Each structure stands twice: as C-alpha cells, then as structure tokens.
Amino acid sequence: MQVIRELLEEKEKKTLSSHATLSSKASRRGVEEECELRTRFQKDRDKILHSKPFRRLKHKTQVFLNPVGDHYRTRMTHTLEVMQLGRTMARALSLNEDLVEAATLGHDLGHTPFGHSGEAILNKIHPKGFHHVFQSVRIVEPMNVTEEVREAIAKHSKGKGPILSDDPKLKAKTLEGQVVRLADIIAYVNHDLDDAMRAGVLTSKDIPKRLRDIFGNTHSERIGTMIKDVILATQEHDFDKIRMSTEKIEALTELRAFMFGNVYETDRVQRELKKAQKMVESLYFYYLEHPDQLLSEMSLNEFTDPIDQHVIDFISGMTDRYAINKYREIFLPSSWQT
C-alpha cells in the first residue's frame, strides 16, 4: 500500500506551480527517517509547533509591555498572523504552503523577553552580539529541520533595512522563503499600528494621508491591499521573485519609518522598555558570575558551549513574566515569613 506521504508528494507535483518548492526535494543536514503520514515540511512544522520555545511565545512582548487589555498582540499572536498571511500568499501563488507555514511558525523562536528592547540590550552587552534571527536558527538546528525552512527563518528579518533585496545574504533561494520575509513585515506593521491606536498612542488621522490613500483606512483594507499587490506583482513578472509594485513597496517603507518614529522609538513606549532592559542586563551578568545557578536551571547534557552562550540561551528563552519573577527573586528583598 502506498504511504500517505507519497500521495501528498504526488499531489504537490500535480497541483503546485512549477516555481514552487517540492517537499520531496527538501534536504536535511542530518539523516532522518521519513514519516509515513507527513511530508518533510509538514514534519518540520510539527517539530516547531510542539516545541517549548514556541509555547513560550505567548508570554513574550510584541511592542507594548504588560498591557492591561486582553487584545494586544504577543509574540505568539504575531507569529500566527504572519503564518496566516504567508499561507494566503502561498496558496494564491500555488507555492508550497507547508514550507511557508513551518518557517513562519519558527521565525521568531529566538526572540527575547520584552521584544526588541531585550534583543537590543543583549546585543550591546554580549561580546559576540545577539540577534533573534541567529537565535531562532540556533533553536531549530537541533530539530534537524530542512535546509529550506532553516534558510527562510535565517533570512526573514529586515530591521530598518530593505524590505525586499536581491542580496543573496538577505534573499531566500525559494519563493516560499521570500514570502515569509514579506509576510512578517506586512503583519507587524499593520498589527502594531492597530495596537498603537488601541493604546491611544496614535489615531487613524495621524497616519499620513498619502499612505491612507494608497493602503486604505482600516486594518483589513491595509492588509488586503498589500497582499493583493504582492500576488499581482509577482504574477506579472513571471515569478522571477516575490515582488511588490514600486508604489506599494515605497509606501510600505514609509509606513514602517512612520511606525519607528511615532510608536517604536517614542518616549512613551521606550520608558517601560528601558526598565525591562535593566532587568535583562542584571540577569545576564548575574548568571555569568553565578554559573552554578544556571546549572540548576538547565540539565548537564545541555552544557556543550561556552558559559556565556548558555547564559544567552537561558535569558533569551525567558518569557516576560519569568524574567520579572527571576529578577524579583534574585535582586529584590522578599517578605519575611513568620
């Protein structure tokens, strides 16, 4: 009897675009037995989905630290929104949704507590620097994910750099990997804007009129306009790469700059995050000076690298609340128990 995985692989060959990445062609660094039920990309997805780092994303900050409201994004909801947008684009372009799904679910596994502020302070104080992308790759490597998923994760991040790039250091070889890069920025720019308006940091009228005219006035209109543009621009240029029209990519770059200037880097947002950075810095140096305490938190077989790398692994893996509790436990006096 033919195994289900082989049927799925045959279905990919029949239904996906000639530009899509077939799971049967995917490669891994380590030898691994094939699954009878799942393709290689589906197996990668499940490895990531069932991992502890993935579960911890639900208690990691996206932008707003410890929000009182229930509807602000976390790193987990961000990840799910990136996954949804990525799959939407992949399906419309007849690309491999499973590859996109696996990479989007894993793209932020290496994120620190307290969002990019935690990342920035670790990058400043650790001699070798720190970037969540490299940490995400470090986390998925022991999972033996496919090279295609690994590369998509490694090349998803943009910071303030070019949203789309032909630099092979930034551009994934697969179209699916390029979809992941765009899905990430389309998701975070739009949902962070939505959260900023919910928090009273911005109103819809604060968005430059030119951008409202191009993308629309509502959250769904903005996302819909961007996604449709990616699909049409890519199709119009014969799938040579994942694209956006010149007008839309320039407007998206402008919208991102607007978010940095009016949300991410404002005193109101940064004030609390700077307090969080002091906590992360204190925890880093504490565990560096007290490796015995780190040993009690991790199993002996995990210690295969220099101690500072294990401190980075431990700190970056913390959730916001775990970091706060650890800081309180180590640095603040506790009530006397009678």
According to the model, what pLDDT value does residue 150 have? Answer: 99
Q: Please state which of the ranges 15-24, 74-83, 287-296 shows the lowest mean pLDDT.
A: 287-296
Question: Strand pairing partners for 28?
Answer: 146
For residues 40-76, one letter each, b for 16 or more C-beta atoms within 10 angstroms of the residue's C-beta and e for the rest, the string is bbbbbbebbeebebbebbebbbbbbbebeeeebbbbb
Give the pLDDT of residue 2. Answer: 72
For residues 197-214, give the mean pLDDT.
96
Cβ-based burial of 36 (10 A; exposed 0-12, middle 13-18, buried ≥19): exposed
Sign of CA dihedral 46, 48, 51, 57: negative
* pLDDT band at residue 269 using 50, 70 and 90 as cut-offs: confident
Task: Let me know the angle formed at the C-alpha of 185 by 42 and 46, rounded to the nearest 5 degrees.
Answer: 15
Determine the 3-state secondary structure of 61 from DSSP. strand
CA–CA separation, 80 and 187 (whole Å): 9
Q: Which of helix, strand or coil describes residue 74?
A: strand
Count CB atoms within 10 A of the CB of residue 165.
Answer: 14
Mean pLDDT of the chain: 94
Burial 146-160 (b: 16+ CB within 10 A, else e): bebbbbbbbbbbbee
Q: In the CATH scheme, what is the code of domain 41-159+168-267?
A: 1.10.3210.10
- pLDDT at position 7, please? 97
pLDDT above 70 covers a percentage of the chain that reads: 96
pLDDT at residue 283 is higher than 60: yes
Task: Answer yes or no: is pLDDT of 193 > 60.
Answer: yes
pLDDT band at 303 (very low <50, low <70, confident <90, very high): low
Query: How many whole angstroms separate alpha carbon 39 and alpha carbon 30?
Result: 16
User: What is each CA distance from 326 to 35, 193, 261, 330, in whole angstroms?
Assistant: 40, 31, 32, 6
Domain boundaries, the chain: 41-159+168-267
Six-digit token string for 99: 């590859």
What is the three-state SS of 249-265? HHHHHHHHHHHHHHHHC
- % of the chain surpassing 90 pLDDT: 86
List, in sequence order, every residue forming a beta bridge with 146; answer none if it has no partner.
Answer: 28
Q: Which range among 68-77, 130-139, 171-180 shows the weakest confidence by mean pLDDT?
A: 68-77
Give the integer Cα–Cα distance in Å for 99 and 205.
38
Instruction: Give residue 335's identity as a one-letter amino acid code.
Output: S
